Structure 1
Amino acid sequence: MRIISLLAISLLMLSLTVLLSCKTPELSGGIIALEAGRIDEAIDLFQQARDKQPENPEVYMYLAKAYANKQMWEEAIEALDNGEGLDPKFDEDIKLAREELWVKIYNDFAIPVYVEHDYETAAEYFELASRADPTKAESFNSLGLCYGILEKPEKAVEAFKKAVELQPDNVDFLTNLSSAYLDIGDTEKAAEILFVLAEKEPDNAEVQYKVARSLHL
């Protein structure tokens, strides 16, 4: 058992050595500090690495991760934005980094305050999540729900529109968008969506009711 443990440690050290061997001292030092939980030191080193290699997307990914550890969401999002598109080899890594940041903001911060009915704060977190990973329709739908509760129907419409753009066949998102259009008095656009939904959901009483409502407004 001791031999196996020593072998595992040796392999881990070897992997870390290989990982760091092709990196600048600042980036290598930042990675070590980040893994050790010395986040402020890691951020400082990653910033130095960024200044030396502003075209290196890997620097921005690690910088975003360090910022996220400090709940510096704006800075983390900006780092990923700056790293995106610099090198096609890192496109998938940037995508995964965005998803990781999105999960952290959406699941760990936005949802809990939404459940506690703190809709103002929830809206702020959902908006951050939507910027962390703009491909996640759930962020925009949840943001629209918050705006609806907060009686900001115009903002709700814009949020639901983005959700529908990402998932045009999602019945829940379409229903939410049609309701938001009704809230701002745009019965024509609401009806367009509802008629499509009525064909897709002939047994959905709520949809059928909203179609009837739109016709009489």
Structure 2
Amino acid sequence: MRIPGESRIILKNLAVEYYTVAEGYLEIKNYTKAAEYYKLAMRNKDLYLTSYYKLARCYALSKDWKNAAESYEYLLSLDPDNVMLKTSLAYITAMNGNIDDAILKYRKLLEDNPFDESILENYVALLINVGRGEDAEESFFVLKEKFPDNKQITGFAQKLSEIVDNFDASRKDFKENQNTDKTKPEDKQL
């Protein structure tokens, strides 16, 4: 004869065990197996969101871009202001081959988070990797100006010199060259 509530306790303990097994697989980078066990752990409502997030991460780490995108979109529907989730989804979107959508996501992220170095760095990397050198050039100079100690600047400069004609990373007058309105601010009517 079973004690009342015993089945519920057994299932809860089992879900905790599944979660622990999933964490072990995640630690040894067996993302497919970890995902299987996170799904099982999600049966416990107390572990559901944590397991779901880890499942989404496993999809991304195993390069299952379709499931990763769906999972991160769901998580974003629960927490629409989460910058980390938005950044992950922008990256996943790019890796899924939806470059124009990924660029739009990164632009929106930069608009909302202009002082986030990693977002700007990832945006420049994306533009360079898809061969949009002229677009990357402007963001490169923003990165260089705002974050002069960024470790990617030298590598980005080298790549940009290969894909952009007359690229000069040492140029300090980039903004002035890009400004088509040559009137001085004091000449403009307010």
Do they superpose with TM above 0.5? yes
User: Which residue does the alignment assign to 1:211?
Assistant: 123
Structure 1 residues 153 and 136: alpha-carbon distance in aligned structure 2, compared to 1, 3 A threshold: same
User: Which residue does the alignment assign to 2:75?
Assistant: 163
Output the TM-score relative to the length of structure 2: 0.55
1:114 Cα deviation from its structure 2 partner: 0.8
Structure 2, unmatched stretches of 5+, are: 131-190
Superposed counterparts of 1:22-171, under 5 Å: 29-31=1-3, 62-69=6-13, 71=14, 101=15, 105-106=18-19, 108-133=20-45, 136-171=48-83
Structure 1 residues 136 and 66: alpha-carbon distance in aligned structure 2, compared to 1, 3 A threshold: closer
Structure 1 residues 214 and 116: alpha-carbon distance in aligned structure 2, compared to 1, 3 A threshold: closer
Q: Could you give the per-residue CA deviations for residues 68-106 of structure 1, whole angstroms, max 9, x where no partner exists? A: 44x3xxxxxxxxxxxxxxxxxxxxxxxxxxxxx5x5543
1:136 Cα deviation from its structure 2 partner: 4.7
Q: Could you give the per-residue CA deviations for residues 3-33 of structure 1, whole angstroms, max 9, x where no partner exists? A: xxxxxxxxxxxxxxxxxxxxxxxxxx522xx
User: Which residue does the alignment assign to 1:180?
Assistant: 92
Counterpart amino acid of 1:123?
Answer: A
Q: Which is helix-richer, 1 or 2?
A: 1
1:153 Cα deviation from its structure 2 partner: 1.2
Q: State percent identity of aligned pairs.
A: 25
Structure 1 residues 122 and 194: alpha-carbon distance in aligned structure 2, compared to 1, 3 A threshold: same
Counterpart amino acid of 2:66?
Answer: E
Structure 1, unmatched stretches of 5+, are: 1-28, 32-45, 47-60, 72-100
Structure 1 residues 130 and 201: alpha-carbon distance in aligned structure 2, compared to 1, 3 A threshold: farther
3-state SS of paired residue (1:132): coil
Counterpart amino acid of 2:25?
Answer: V
Cα distance in 2 for residues equivalent to 1:171 and 1:199 = 12
Output the TM-score relative to the length of structure 1: 0.49
1:179 Cα deviation from its structure 2 partner: 0.8
Structure 1 residues 131 and 176: alpha-carbon distance in aligned structure 2, compared to 1, 3 A threshold: farther
Cα distance in 1 for residues equivalent to 2:76 and 2:49 = 8
Cα distance in 1 for residues equivalent to 2:32 and 2:25 = 9
- Retained in 1: the 8 A contact 2:12–2:44? no
